[in-house]
Amino acid sequence: MPHTVLIARDFDHLSDLAADATRAHIARTLERQDTFNLGLATGHSPTGAYRRLIQAFNRRAIPAEKVRTFNLDEYVGLPGADAQARVLHPESYTYFMIQELFGPLHPKFAATHLPAGCLIDQPTLERELDAHPGDWKTLGADNGQAIRIHYDAASSYLQWVRQDILRSYLQAITDAGGIDLHLIGIGKRGHVAFHEVGIPFQSDPMLLVKLDDDTIECAIQAGHFTSRQASPRFAISMSAELIFRARAVILLATGASKAAPIAASLLEDPSPAIPASYAQIYAQRGGDITYLLDLDAAADVLAHRDAITARGIHLEDLT
């Protein structure tokens, strides 16, 4: 399959293309199997596509009851006295998905899955990590790092995180038969989900991540949290390697802030310094990867069109 980059006029055009491609994937797949496993992201980029998919599902153009969903990531450390309060926090990704996609659907999806980061109590996690330094190690070359909990960890709490939060989510994906299509975005430093810059590709499929200072600051600047003290410091996330095990991936990007990381993920050799660059490895192995960009996000791509196409990437301007 070619590595394809499609350039849309604007957010609405991009959303139309993303929804149409998703509907087509679902329809084709359901001709040969009974259910469809859809991977989902949060953030602004997919919201227009979600609105269009809601319309398609609700008018029965595609059967929601045959779709199972798996989200990429979830925060650990949202404000709240207990797990229920954290799940219902307006910045939880669970709350986002209910607002933007799950809630308006009639009928509902066959099943929805999100990483259970809200079950983890951040102060308890930090105490256990401090008390049991031999139970874990960090993976990563930057501020954002994956925390690998050893299989023989002495801390029962860390063992619970490893088994019941991380491994159980991976097992749910495996038991479902893997992801048929992922809709993903890209961060301002080229990260995908919470696979932060510098976390090696050969890490665990599901990650417990200590968030990068830049990631926390971006969330504050965007108005999601009022301060560093109020912001989560950890997250649960699929790794780039797990994301790109899907049978197809559509990466959505809008806005000028995404122009540089998008171009870098296409122009530079694959590296954990730009986690989205794993898409190149995926394409080389026969994966079906499409970038859908609006004009602002595509600015640096268009400036380096020849160099990108010379790398075997198909570029199509639909504006």
Say if residues 182 and 249 touch (Cβ distance below 8 Å).
yes
Return all residues near 227 (Cβ < 8 A) that are at least 6 apart.
220
- Please report the pLDDT score of residue 143 as a whole number: 87
What secondary structure letter does DSSP report for 61?
S
- Percent of the chain exceeding pLDDT 90 equals 91
**pLDDT, tens only, 224-274:** 888 888 889 999 999 999 999 999 999 999 999 999 999 999 999 999 999
Q: Taking the CA of residue 182 as centre, how many other CA atoms within 13 Å lie in the half-sphere pointing to its CB? A: 32
What is the rounded CA–CA span in Å between residue 303 and residue 300? Answer: 5
Identity of the amino acid at 179: I
pLDDT at 191 over 70: yes
**Could you tell me how far CA 150 lies from the centroid of its own chain?**
25
146 — pLDDT class (breaks 50, 70, 90): very high
- Please report the pLDDT score of residue 58 as a whole number: 98
pLDDT at 289 over 70: yes
What is the rounded CA–CA span in Å between residue 300 and residue 5? Answer: 13
Enter the pTM of the model. Answer: 0.96
Return all residues near 287 (Cβ < 8 A) that are at least 6 apart.
1, 244, 246, 247, 248, 249, 279
Give the bridge partners for 274, in sequence order. Answer: 271
SS3 231: coil
pLDDT at 178 over 80: yes
- Please report the pLDDT score of residue 1 as a whole number: 57
111 sits in the region (left: phi over 0; alpha: psi -120 to 50; else beta) called beta
SS3 145: strand
| Domains observed in the chain | 3-317 (3.40.50.1360)
**pLDDT, tens only, 41-63:** 999 999 999 999 999 999 999 99
For the chain, give the mean pLDDT. 96
- Please report the pLDDT score of residue 137 as a whole number: 97
What is the rounded CA–CA span in Å between residue 149 and residue 155? Answer: 10
Question: What are the structure tokens assigned to 168, written together?
Answer: 């159980």
pLDDT at 297 over 80: yes
- Please report the pLDDT score of residue 221 as a whole number: 86
